[in-house]
Amino acid sequence: MALAHPQLTDSLTGLLGFPVTPFRESGELDLPRFEEHLTEMLEAKPAALFVACGTGEFASLTLAEHRQIVQTAVAHVDGAVPVLAGVGGGTQVAVEFTRSAEQGGADGVLVLPPYLQVGPPSGLVEHYRQIASATSLGVIPYQRSTAIFTPESVAKLAEIEQVVAFKDGHGDIELLQRIRTVSDGKLLLLNGMPTAETFARAYAAIGVRAYSSATLAFAPKIARAFFDAFERGDDVLQQTLLREFYVPLAQLRHTTNGYAVALVKAGLDIQGRSAGSVRPPLMDASPEHRAELATLIEQGMAAIETAAVA
């Protein structure tokens, strides 16, 4: 069975970028800074950009702000790579955001887990079925939190024409292998774990090579270097970057709820490319953790430079 939306699925096989949403000190969107941020990320040649998703603080955006983010990204990227938008919440809210994303020119949507409510497998399938039926865009369910699927449920999703991929942020490799087997290759699987690079080789062992990189948003050279090393089988550089940057970054992220986003914005600010603060209930990284992050960025860049002259 051929995959639906072949041009989109062909683009979801590499390094996937997740931009932040910049805010001014007043709390309003900073769209000029957002455009600069997109340009910075495009220089690292991501396969696609996912705007207003988890890293982009989807849960803190109004529908009007979400629409502005999508429209700005689509216009600025101008077809260089696909632009997908985060959507989520209850079914009707997710449908509303999905329709808005399509009107804004997005190439697809990443559906974040439903808010708070946890239904049976059949309810989850119906949730995504209704979202898919409301759009002509490619739809990607995101497994994590309140949306953990049975393999049989994913097989049903795979029969929906609009559902083009399945992103996993749950980290249960056995479950993912069962999903891969039952869905019979009809869905492209994506590694969507926080600090996905630390899971890259584990996911690759079951045939999942594309992954989302939060690092691409604040340290694109490090993200690109790791992915290139991963693709060419350079174990030495991968291990060095894991030791010097990615594993301690994951440890730092685990210290405080919300750091999956706050550390990304802190990383930008540390390097003079601020995208403003995070919105509550998230909180900005502490001075001590900012200092640790600055050291990690230095270590990551040093590892790349050493590899380049070796």
Burial environment of residue 81 by CB neighbours within 10 A (0 to 12, 13 to 18, 19 or more): buried
Burial environment of residue 221 by CB neighbours within 10 A (0 to 12, 13 to 18, 19 or more): middle
> Could you say which DSSP state residue 143 is in?
E
Q: Is 55 annotated as a binding residue?
A: yes
Pick the closest to residue 212 from 67, 19, 1, 68 (CA basis).
19
Sorted by sequence, the CB contacts under 8 Å of residue 26 that are 6+ apart come out as none
Pick the closest to residue 77 from 96, 112, 104 (CA basis).
104
Provide the residue type at 143 as one letter: Q
Which residues are marked as active site?
Answer: 142, 167
Strand pairing partners for 165?
A: 188
Separation CA 90–CA 241 (nearest Å): 39
Provide the residue type at 228 as one letter: D
Q: Are 52 and 76 in contact (CB under 8 A)?
A: no
Give the pair of three-digit tokens for residue 120. 């049976």
Sign of the alpha-carbon dihedral angle for 78, 215, 113, 183: positive
* Structure-derived torsion over alpha carbons of residues 29, 69, 109, 91, reported in degrees to the nearest 10: 50
Q: Which residues are annotated as a binding site for pyruvate?
A: 55
Q: Which residues are annotated as a binding site?
A: 55
